[in-house]
Structure formats: structure tokens, C-alpha cells
Structure 1
């Protein structure tokens, strides 16, 4: 099992070092508690997946997707797994982040204000 964990960590590190433009833009606004004091981390392994961003205390996952994710069955399976494990998931398209960052941030702030699912539900 240790090898699998190390593999996930290496993948997460690689993804952190090669963000898309949209991920970089959003990370600039999320890091260092810039969004209403909430702490986010990026490219975090959770179960079998690596999520783009997560606020652990609010159990909020944020995914930023490019065109390759359109109508993606794997994304639906991933989202279901995360929801089944008491995470909330917000998905944004790259062009939403680039063209409507204020709207994206407003949606995230609203979600942060909602009661997070209980981890032991």
C-alpha cells in the first residue's frame, strides 16, 4: 500500500508544478487564505483521486476542467465517489475562470458559507 500512496503523492507534486493557466489564476486567489480566510490546498490526493483544490475544513472540492472533460463519465464517477465520502464538489470550465473570475469566486464564497457535510455521515 505504501507504494500506491507514494505514487499518488508524486503525481500530485507533478500536477502542482504544471498547472493550467486557469488553475494558476484560481490558485492565486485561493492560496494564503485570500478567500475569506479559508485555507485551500491544491492537487490533493483523496482516496483514489487527486483533486485540483480543496478546503478541508469546509469539505469543498473545486475542479477546473478543460474541454477534454466535456460529458466525462469518469468525472461523474469521481464526483459521486467524493459526494459519497461527504465532500461537496464545484466544477468550473477553464474559460469560466478566465472570463468570469469574479463569478467563480462568488460561487465559491457562497459554497464556503454553507454547512459542510459531516465527515462521519
Structure 2
């Protein structure tokens, strides 16, 4: 889910609601992904962008120099194909951000496998002082 788009004279940054808390592989290993716009058709020319996460960390970069439609905007959905099975097992609660849902897509049909972790889920584990 695109939260913000920042365009400078030299580059475009697309901030999404994911990041290093739910997929640390780009920061740890330099894994390269190719996010794609889904949910709407765009005729805009593709342009190079950097897709960044929601955390205020220099390493929270999910994809560098990938091409997305030039009209990408907040509210758009991006898919990250082949994020891998380790995505869920490596996720953390960094900054109290809950782990994302897991959705399987097969022949155009999506099915929820694991629901999104809520703040209440995280807080429920706190036993107090």
C-alpha cells in the first residue's frame, strides 16, 4: 500500500506501509525485488523509483531503481512477487508495527492465509511491570 510519493529533481521515492520489520532481506542481504503496480491499469510512462519502507532508517529500502508508472500515487497497491517463504519467519515487531497478512494468489483468486497482526495482538503479550 503506497503511503506517500516524494519527487525530487533527481529521483522519485515511493513509501509503502511495509518495510524492514516485515521483510528485512533487502537490508540484510541486498535482495533485489521488482514491485509491480496492481489493482489499476496505468498508461503512464514507467519511471525509475526507489521503494522505501515506513521506518525512519537508512536501510529501509525495499527496491532501488525499479520502474513503476510515473503516475503512482498514495493509495495504490504494489505487489512484490517472489518475496519468499522467509518473509513471514523473519518479520519482527520493530517500532510496534504488526506483521503483515499472508495472502495466496492462484489463478487470479486471492485467499487470506494469515491475518494481519494488530497492535492489540502485540499489546496482549505485555504482562506489565
Say which one has the larger Rg: 2
TM-score (norm 2): 0.30
Structure having the higher helix fraction is: 1
Structure having the higher strand fraction is: 2
TM-score (norm 1): 0.31
